[in-house]
Structure 1
Amino acid sequence: MPRSRRIAAATLIGGGATVSGFYGFLVGEALLARRAIGTTDERPPSPDGVYGDDLPGRTIRVLVLGDSAAVGYGVTRADATPSAMIGVGLAHVMDAPVEVQCRAVVGAQTTDLTAQIDLDPDWQPDVAVIVVGTNDVTHRVAPRTSARELSRVVRRLVSEGCDVVVGTCPDLGTVQPIPQPLRTVARQLSRSLARKQTIAVVEAGGRSVSLGDLLGTLFTEKRDLMFGADHFHPSETGYANLVSVLIPAISASLRQKRTAHAYAGPTRDLVSVADAAAVSVDNPGTQVVPDAGPGGRFASVLRRRRAS
């Protein structure tokens, strides 16, 4: 074990006055990871526009909010961004034109979502897709504080007649440039935030999708393919995998509204929102759907079917 790791381990075990030393070690690790990853204000070409404009039916408006994962940080083509993939995929599934606006911002935290919504208050979306949380973890925002802010955002959108689908915080333990023991801490914090996000979203009337370590195995075994050039943000293939679990949730949410009734799953499939959140964190790709409107205490857990 390298000397720095031995010092960190001894510091952690020692406790008491040495806790500040371990915290200082983690901060140092974070700075090294951030330097290795690198940052930029650049973003891909705008994906905003109408997809499937030759299809029949009423145009579906999709608002994409969040951080760099929602932006598609690292890709160089508009059609490789998550927003464009959502537009193309949803148009195909719903057989209708889809108009997309992406207002996500690289580096955004949950507290930035309200400003993103307010950029164009006259443009009323049918569904908002939110991917956020990573920067809350890296900036040490308490998960409870972050989840409370997310709840306010979801409640506002729902009250305005907009469906909401939230991809919860991904597992940062899959990011290789983050060294140990910081990567283990990042994993614990991101999973804790994802669980609290799920509860907040569902109780506010939205639908959550667990990103968790959904891409973790692929990131670990095929990191050259799944991660982008900075080895932190997903590659085009990684973003496509992220979108693949969001599209079913978005389309299901829109269809539920069209049929004008709540999710019709059998009563025995209902569990408490807290239990549903725990299940979703351990089962990436899982949707958690409120049984009633905002304030409901029960939810349905829709597990993703794994390819055989």
Structure 2
Amino acid sequence: MRRPAARLARLYARLLAHRPPADWSVPVADGRYGPTEPASDARPLTLLMLGDSLAQSFGAHRPEQTLGARLAQGLAEGTGRPVDLRVRARVGATTAAVGRQLLRAARLRPGVAVLIVGGNDVLLPTPLGRAARRFAHVAQHLRDAGWQLVVVPCPNPGYGPGFRAPARWIGHHRSRRLARRHVRTADRVGAHLAPTSGPEFRDDAEHLLGPDGVHPSPHGYATHAARMLPALLAAAARLPEPAVHA
């Protein structure tokens, strides 16, 4: 874990949560997904995951349980194309850190990019306007570079029973404000919107959240993926057709 993310994780552990994790590792899910024998003219589609612990899938135990892997497999099945998954998201990332993630993705062939960030911004004493402007910059950069962007508006920490009461209250109100800014940005740049987490994660926390009561369990990531996949398929449908080789 990089230093800024490590500092955020320690802050989370000391101040925000009842049962903070001792191990912050996440399975590496990068790779190619799809049919074992794709058509000879099927050019791989790139799926880029940007953002924080939800986009990286903290709480998954195996690569195939991660949000990225589930979405990549769903995209491959829905489009008939192999999908190259690249996860640049990192646990503890704020919106400012996504700029560094973009640099690490600069050489990738544009495809579908998923952006999930903001949960850490709303739990820190930082101006939401600054986070919203950085988010807008990232979104515009991705669209200008040729990516079809799928935005998940800022998740609501208030639905995580593992957070202490002050964090839930503050996170609930600040996340709603930031999520509205994310939706406006997505509309402005022509991005696709995918559903964010809802009260079902609070009401069925034993099933959908992991032991910390904050991050999704493997079942929770499966729920997220099923809700998000239609937006990703719509985004993939707007990509240029892959070249057909004679």
Shorter-chain-normalised TM-score: which range?
Answer: 0.7 to 0.9
Matches within 5 A, 1:63-142: 63-142=48-127
1:160 CA drift (Å): 1.1
Cα distance in structure 2, aligned partners of 1:126 and 1:30? 36
Deviation at 1:120, TM superposition (A): 4.1
Aligned residue number for residue 25 of structure 2: 42
Residues 138-153 of structure 1 correspond to what in structure 2 (within 5 A)? 138-153=123-138
Instruction: Indicate if the aligned counterparts of 1:129 and 1:166 stay in contact, CA closer than 8 A.
Output: yes
Distance 2:33 2:149 in 1: 20
Residues 18 and 163, structure 2, Cα contact 8 Å, conserved in 1: no
| CA-CA distance at 1:128 after TM superposition | 0.8
Determine which of 214, 236, 239 is the counterpart of 1:254. Answer: 236
Task: Name the SS for the 2:238 alignment partner.
Answer: helix
By how many angstroms is 1:157 displaced? 1.1
Structure 2 residue aligned with 1:242? 224
Q: Indicate which of 233, 237, 240 corresponds to 2:215.
A: 233
CA contact (8 A) 1:30 1:182 kept: no
Q: Which residue is equivalent to 1:221? A: 203
Cα deviations by residue, 1:230-273 (Å, 9 ceiling, x for unpaired): 111000111111112221111101213448xxxxxxxxxxxxxx
Q: Report the AA paired with residue 17 of structure 2.
A: R
Distance in 2 (CA, whole Å) between partners of 1:120 and 1:165 is: 16
- Where do 5+ consecutive residues of structure 1 fail to align? 1-28, 260-308
TM normalised by structure 1 equals 0.69
- The alignment covers a number of residue pairs equal to 228
User: Deviation of residue 186 (structure 1)?
Assistant: 1.7
* CA deviation map 1:253-304 (0-9, x unaligned): 1213448xxxxxxxxxxxxxxxxxxxxxxxxxxxxxxxxxxxxxxxxxxxxx
Q: Residue 223 of structure 1 aligns to which amino acid in structure 2? A: A
Aligned amino acid, residue 152 of structure 2: G
Q: Which runs of 5+ in 2 are unaligned?
A: 1-11, 242-246
Aligned-residue Cα RMSD (Å) equals: 2.2
Counterpart of 2:45?
60
Q: Is the 8 A contact 1:30 1:178 kept in 2?
A: no
2:9 is matched with none
Kindly report which structure 2 residues correspond to 1:8-47, keeping only aligned pairs within 5 A, or say none.
Answer: 31-34=14-17, 36-38=19-21, 40-44=23-27, 46-47=28-29
Task: Choose 1 or 2 for highest CA Rg.
Answer: 1
Partner of 1:192: 177
Q: How does 1:286-297 map to 2 (within 5 A)?
A: none
The AA in structure 2 aligned to 1:235 is S
1:101 is displaced (CA, Å) by: 0.5
Contact 2:148 2:238 in 1 (8 A): no
CA shift for structure 1 position 145:
1.4
How far apart are residue 39 of structure 1 and its match?
5.8
1:20 equivalent in structure 2: none
* 8 A Cα contact 1:154 1:205, kept in partner: no
Quick check: 1:155–1:205 contact (8 Å CA) kept in 2?
no
Distance 1:47 1:30 in 2: 26
CA distance in 1, matches of 2:187, 2:73: 27
Deviation string, structure 1 residues 165-204 (Cα, Å, up to 9, x no partner) = 1111112111112233542222111111111111122212
Cα drift, residue 117 of structure 1: 1.5
Q: Is the 8 A contact 2:13 2:21 kept in 1?
A: no
- TM-score between the two structures when normalised by the length of structure 2: 0.85
Displacement of 1:71 = 0.9
